[in-house]
Chain A
Amino acid sequence: DAMVIQNPRYQVTQFGKPVTLSCSQTLNHNVMYWYQQKSSQAPKLLFHYYDKDFNNEADTPDNFQSRRPNTSFCFLDIRSPGLGDAAMYLCATSGTYGLAPNEQFFGPGTRLTVL
């Protein structure tokens, strides 16, 4: 089945220790998104890729970076995690761009704990 896969599902890191979360998709979608979702809050968009074009949200901290080496994979790098970065990180994809309806397909998420 076509899907969005996130690894690992649970990640524990230490304060200040770089961490990388990964996302892969078999949907062949050209748009990939990263969201941060804190407990009992709405998902908040960090950035997205349209093919290789990176689009950062204005309020995304510099601590968060992303890489998309190919269509299938996208990575979220947190350079120096702080306690406030503990959250669920959701990857999503979309096969449409522009004015077309933007249904997004989400992975199961990675829950990040910062000690």
Chain B
Amino acid sequence: SQQGEEDPQALSIQEGENATMNCSYKTSINNLQWYRQNSGRGLVHLILIRSNEREKHSGRLRVTLDTSKKSSSLLITASRAADTASYFCARTGGGNKLTFGTGTQLKVEL
């Protein structure tokens, strides 16, 4: 499969804790993106990291990229109940296609 793999598949944490999600892929990339999907809704773009970048921050989000290991991680700090959603990584290898990973379902409990 050309899809990326994400782990864990599901993650349950308490509000205020940090959440870390990992994404692995098999082929070379131009960039890697992370999207959030609330239940039954469309996807929302969170952050993009280019293949020549190693780390990127946006608010409470921190993304790392290790192209030698073909992996990326998304860290959400000080999580809130509103962060409950599915999170997908998506790679762009060339052209205009996004190939999505399998997703991590995050549940943040009060």
- A interface, CB within 8 angstroms of B: 4, 6, 31, 40-45, 48, 50, 88, 90, 92, 94, 96-99, 101-109, 111
With beta carbons under 8 angstroms apart, the residue of B41, B45, B95, B103 that contacts A104 is B45
Q: Give Cα distance in the complex from A65 to B6, angstroms.
A: 31
Which of A42, A104, A106: most chain B Cβ within 10 A?
Answer: A42
**CB pair B41 A109 closer than 8 Å:** yes
**CB pair A105 B96 closer than 8 Å:** no
Residue pairs across A and B with CB atoms within 8 Å: the count is: 64
**CB pair A102 B42 closer than 8 Å:** no
The residues of A that contact B97 with a CB separation of less than 8 Å are 45, 48, 102
**CB pair A108 B94 closer than 8 Å:** no
Q: Give Cα distance in the complex from A57 to B6, angstroms.
A: 23
The residues of A that contact B95 with a CB separation of less than 8 Å are 98
The residues of B that contact A88 with a CB separation of less than 8 Å are 40
How many residues of B sit at the interface, in one of the four size bands? Answer: 20 to 34
Closest chain-A Cβ to B25's Cβ sits at a distance in Å of 12
| Chain B 37-55 interface 0/1 with A at a Cβ cutoff of 8 Å (1 = within) | 0001111110010100000
Query: Which chain B residue lies CB-closest to A10?
Result: B40
**CB pair A90 B103 closer than 8 Å:** no
**CB pair B96 A97 closer than 8 Å:** yes
**CB pair B42 A48 closer than 8 Å:** no
**CB pair B96 A48 closer than 8 Å:** yes
The residues of A that contact B50 with a CB separation of less than 8 Å are 101
**CB pair A108 B96 closer than 8 Å:** no
Closest chain-A Cβ to B11's Cβ sits at a distance in Å of 14
Q: Give Cα distance in the complex from A105 to B104, angstroms.
A: 20
B20 at the interface (CB under 8 A from A): no
**CB pair A101 B41 closer than 8 Å:** no
**CB pair B94 A99 closer than 8 Å:** yes
The residues of B that contact A45 with a CB separation of less than 8 Å are 97-98
Query: Which chain B residue lies CB-closest to A55?
Result: B96
With beta carbons under 8 angstroms apart, the residue of B30, B33, B41, B88 that contacts A108 is B41
Q: A42-B3, A50-B96 are in contact. Are A101 and B40 (CB under 8 A)?
A: no
**CB pair A111 B40 closer than 8 Å:** yes
